[in-house]
Amino acid sequence: MKKLEHKIALITGGAAGIGYATAERFLEEGATVIIWDINEEAGAKAIESLNAPKGRSAFQKVDVSDYEAVKSAVDSIIAEFGSVDILVNNAGITMDRTLLKMDPATWQKVIDINLTGVFNCTRVCAEHMAEKGSGVVLNASSVVGIYGNFGQTNYVAAKAGLIGMTKTWAKELGKKGIRVNAVAPGFIATEMVKKMPENVVAGINGKTPLGRLGTPEDIANAYLFLASDDAAFITGITLSVDGGLTI
């Protein structure tokens, strides 16, 4: 039997990168996957590219920072598919500035999507999960949420906040049958990272014990493990998937 057979998975920011790789992996393991993304064109292309069996994938354009939009979209998933068994809070943005160059709007935009957006999605989905007595919530943190990073006050604050929320929600929701965990990726070979100067990438590889960037598939496999019954007694953790960068 496949690891996610008969499960309904919602993946935010699922049109590209880690989110898309996770959608692919979950589909391979039998899940029905709903992708959310703010980019409607990218979302439509992602669904077409996934080439999932009929009825096993769908796309919705959703701004996770808008609570009412999130609630409406989740309600429509429940109406069509019956439940949300797995929520992967993957959506996020970066707007990097050093503290003395960061204006309040730049701070707030990243917090709204990367932190408040996770609250919005989890608040709505957890209510449905609690009603049926089971569910899995997976939050996309980052190694920078553990050790900080120059020029990323807003991003680091959000990713560190997710680690704290993961622990809190694990304590609150465990008795309702809901497991909550986070994954903290290191530097992953997404399009954004690939655009970095070669010497910067080489420097990162030199600091990483495994000597390479991670792949979106590396993170997708971590999400798969935590979403599956293989991790049935794991909750409240932040799993670093970083090639040893934070050792």
Which range marks the domain in which residue 153 is found?
Answer: 8-241
H or E stretch including 86? Answer: strand 86-89
Residue 8: the pLDDT is 98
DSSP state of 71: H
CATH number of the domain at 146, please: 3.40.50.720
Residue 199: the pLDDT is 86
CA distance 214 to 115: 24
Question: What confidence tier does 190 reach under pLDDT thresholds 50, 70, 90?
Answer: confident
Residue 2 lies in a domain: no
Catalytic residue among 67, 147, 155, 223: 155
Residue 66 lies in a domain: yes
Residue 201: the pLDDT is 83
- Inform me whether the pLDDT recorded for 122 exceeds 80: yes
**H helix intervals, the chain:** 17-28, 40-50, 67-81, 104-111, 117-132, 144-147, 153-173, 191-194, 198-207, 216-227
Residue 217 lies in a domain: yes
Residue 200: the pLDDT is 80
CA angle 168, 225, 138 (to 5 degrees): 30
Residue 156 lies in a domain: yes
- Type of residue numbered 103: D
Residue 196: the pLDDT is 73
- Inform me whether the pLDDT recorded for 193 exceeds 90: no
- Inform me whether the pLDDT recorded for 47 exceeds 80: yes
Q: Has 155 been annotated as catalytic?
A: yes
Residue 247 lies in a domain: no
Work out how many domains the chain is built from and give that number. Answer: 1
Burial of 180 (0-12, 13-18, 19+ CB in 10 A): buried
